[in-house]
Structure 1
Amino acid sequence: MSGTNDGHGYDSLRLDRTGQAEAFDAIGDRYDEAFPHKEGQVGAGEWLIESLDPGARVLDLGAGTGVPTSRQLADADLDVVGVDLSARMVTLAREYVPAATFHQLDLADLRPGGARDLGRFDGVAAFFSLLMLPRAEIPLALRTIHHLLNPGGLLALSMVEAHVDDFEIPFLGHTIRVSGYLLEDLHKVLDTAGFEVVKENSYTYAPATADVPPEEQVFLCCRRRD
């Protein structure tokens, strides 16, 4: 799995982020208020903490406000770098988790030959961040994550189990586009991208707002195959 091929895989795509960052800029703190119970996310973060040595470098992809994941990982003495497309979310994360470092970046910026090189990591948390991409881009995003991880590195990934592609949904007074897979298909995409699933959990989640429907959340703990 060469870095050159990983980077070039984006050349055939037109990356459309229209409205995605703007929605989260406007939502700000209300995101954490709408999704107050994050047991699955905290549990997957705990798996990273238990599996990594103190001081290990961890990337929080789509870090949002930094709560709970970046804070949880930083409190466990991991070296945390967070990225998010939303400038407002990055501002909040820097305020809430001063022990971590945050950048306003697109995941595509981190691909081989992309706009930014943050180095390599021992672990990556990607909680609902790939959900925001069209399906055509998700395998490329996973290959980028594979590239960012050291050999044997860990990925804690969450998605909403749904057979949808770049589908518009109302979200806290705004509209965002989301994609998802049925669980069996998600396993295949991860396997093709070079990941072994070592643990998984599913939760039926009802957000604390009538604007967002209940969803089936899937948390997959994965290891990079070399």
Structure 2
Amino acid sequence: MSESGEGYEAYPGFDRLALDRSGQAEAFDAIGDRYDEAFPQKEGQIAAGRWLADALPPGSRVLDIGSGTGVPTARQLAEAGHRVVGIDISAGMVKLARDTVPDAAFHHADIADLRAGGRLGPGGPQDLGPFDGAAAFFSLLMLPRPEIPYALRTLRGVLRPGGPLALAMVESDVDDFAVPFLGNTVRVSGYLRDELREVVREAGFDVVGEDARAYAPASTDVPPEIQLFLHCRRRA
């Protein structure tokens, strides 16, 4: 795969989906740094980020999907010596991340922008890839279920063969389900763990490790959850 994007795979089905982000970015703009206050204990995410950082050669280019405030993942990867590029649909979160992790680069963008020919993908105006590794912590759950396989294949397309992906989802059997979240409403999707593994494998990743943790957020309007962390590698 060349730096120009040669060798990327296109997934035209993504282009046919009716992408609906209404209210999602606005909710996170309003939440801002209260997100970190509501989720102060992030041991599972930190452990998965450490696996990702250690799985990469020094100075690797790493993509952080749904980078949020930049804490802990973008900061953790940057402090490990990697070159971090984060994307988030919330302009407010991007601003916070830029202030918090000045050594990383953050873009106000959607994962769909990484598609071949998209705004940031191969053949697009910025063409950010390829990347040596990627993190997607609780970002794909913000998509409707029909989009998630395409999003994973898009991630596969911007990763070099064998590149590691650290993925986190909340275990649930819901699709684009509206939930109260820190005084706002967001729509979330999820899978039970066996189905999540299968979706990830069908998208072209091998699951090489897994961790599941019970989590009780500090905020009383966010219910306890089971967080699933998958350690994956892009299949050649």
TM-score, length of structure 2 as denominator length: 0.93
Paired residues, number: 224
Deviations 1:189-212 (A, max 9, x none): 011100000010000100001110
Q: 1:214 aligns with which of 210, 213, 224?
A: 224
Residue aligning to 1:199: 209
1:114 and 2:114 matched: no
Residue aligning to 2:108: 104
Q: 1:126 aligns with which of 128, 132, 136?
A: 136
Bigger proportion of residues as strand: 1
1:98 counterpart SS class:
coil
Q: 2:155 aligns with which of 145, 158, 168?
A: 145
Q: 1:69 aligns with which of 49, 66, 73?
A: 73
Residue aligning to 2:93: 89
1:53 counterpart SS class:
coil
Deviations 1:82-102 (A, max 9, x none): 110000000000000001000
Q: 1:57 aligns with which of 57, 61, 65?
A: 61
Letter of the 1:32 counterpart: D
Residue aligning to 1:189: 199
Residue aligning to 2:3: none
In the TM superposition, residue 142 of structure 1 has moved relative to its aligned partner by: 0.2
Letter of the 1:95 counterpart: D
Letter of the 1:124 counterpart: A
Task: State the superposition RMSD in angstroms.
Answer: 1.0
Equivalent-residue separation in structure 1 for 2:60 and 2:101 (angstroms): 17
Letter of the 2:182 counterpart: L
Residue aligning to 1:32: 36
Residue aligning to 2:4: none
Q: Which stretches of structure 1, 4 residues or longer, exceed 3 Å deviation after superposition?
A: none
Equivalent-residue separation in structure 1 for 2:15 and 2:45 (angstroms): 33
Residue aligning to 2:9: 3
Residue aligning to 1:22: 26
TM-score, length of structure 1 as denominator length: 0.97
Deviations 1:39-64 (A, max 9, x none): 01000000011111110010000000
Q: 2:145 aligns with which of 131, 135, 157?
A: 135
Equivalent-residue separation in structure 2 for 1:178 and 1:205 (angstroms): 17
Gaps of 5+ in 2: 1-6, 121-126
Letter of the 1:29 counterpart: D
1:162 and 2:172 matched: yes
Equivalent-residue separation in structure 1 for 2:24 and 2:72 (angstroms): 21
Q: 2:188 aligns with which of 169, 178, 186?
A: 178
Question: Which deviates further from its counterpart, 108-117 or 129-138?
Answer: 108-117
Equivalent-residue separation in structure 2 for 1:49 and 1:12 (angstroms): 35
Q: Percent identity?
A: 66
Deviations 1:117-161 (A, max 9, x none): 211111100000000000000000000000010011010000000
Equivalent-residue separation in structure 1 for 2:101 and 2:107 (angstroms): 13
Equivalent-residue separation in structure 2 for 1:12 and 1:133 (angstroms): 15
1:140 counterpart SS class:
helix
Equivalent-residue separation in structure 2 for 1:50 and 1:106 (angstroms): 27
